[in-house]
Amino acid sequence: MFLSFFKFLTVFIILLIIRGFTFAQMSYTKPITINRKQEISDIAYKLPYRGDNYKFYGTFSFHFFGKAFVNNKVYNSFTEAQHLSKQNIGSVEIRILKGSKKKSGYLNPYKYAICGYRIVFMTPMTKNGKPIKYYYRTGLFRFFFKFKKSGKAFYNHRICIDFETLAQYLLNLDDAAHFFDLKIKSVTIKKSFINLLYQTSKGEDLKKREIRFIKYLSPKMNRKYEELFLVEFE
């Protein structure tokens, strides 16, 4: 009788040990290590069509041609820059022309068209010293404007490139990029506008950042980047 009870107790203890071991294995959770330095993903992130202080100007680029994608770090940098812009450029609404395309939902940093590191913006403008919104809503009519080296429109001197806002926005983009271990690699804009940016109240800050401005453009490209500016990250 005692022997049978001892066998039963031994088997019971063994079963408890096995059950406990099995449960421990099934319920074990691997410790999560949080890496503050976010990795760059090759998944294509689509920029939102509009926000509180920005909107896509290129409707066809966004909806039909799919040129609205960036990588995760550029996406976060842009979002953070818009938050900063609410504080220091007021009511100005930034307009995006296009980002990168994608291929099967992914980006390729080695192919320019689908690299995910660049965003093309519309240059902000003022009319009588106030931010323009009307000319943003006229679609392609804006591209009929031509500007002098001073940044003023040829046929309407009340319209001018808003260099103060543009300089501050470039700083916002660079500040935001540094939050996510990026920086502005280069900015492409009309050559004569570069010195005008340096003459703004934020010009010295731009020089200190050592942001590279592309200075050698063909006449066609120089004309194109009156209404646009291209920002590339790295």
What confidence score (pLDDT) does residue 48 get? Answer: 93
| Host domain of residue 172 | 45-233
Phi, psi of 50, rounded to the nearest 5 degrees: -155, 160
pLDDT value at 101 more than 60: yes
pLDDT class of 180 with cuts at 50, 70, 90 = very high
State pLDDT tens for residues 50-98.
Answer: 999 999 987 777 888 889 999 999 999 999 999 999 999 988 889 999 9
- With 0.85 as the threshold, say if the pTM is over it: no
**113: Cβ–Cβ under 8 A, 6 or more apart, which residues?**
100, 101
Alpha-helix residue ranges (DSSP H) falling in the chain: 2-27, 59-63, 72-88, 134-137, 163-179, 191-198, 203-209, 219-224
State pLDDT tens for residues 46-61.
Answer: 999 999 999 998 777 7
With respect to residue 168, please indicate whether it lies within any of the assigned structural domains: yes
With respect to residue 33, please indicate whether it lies within any of the assigned structural domains: no
With respect to residue 62, please indicate whether it lies within any of the assigned structural domains: yes
For the chain, the domain total comes to 1
Tokens 């203890």 -> residue: 13
Task: Please state, in angstroms and rounded to a whole number, the distance separating the CA atoms of residues 161 and 190.
Answer: 11
With respect to residue 71, please indicate whether it lies within any of the assigned structural domains: yes
Q: What is the CATH number of the domain that holds 54?
A: 3.30.1380.10
With respect to residue 55, please indicate whether it lies within any of the assigned structural domains: yes
The tokens describing 150, both together, are: 């001073």
Phi, psi of 98, rounded to the nearest 5 degrees: -165, 160
pLDDT value at 24 more than 50: no
Burial of 18 (0-12, 13-18, 19+ CB in 10 A): exposed
Residue of 27 and 46 predicted with greater confidence: 46
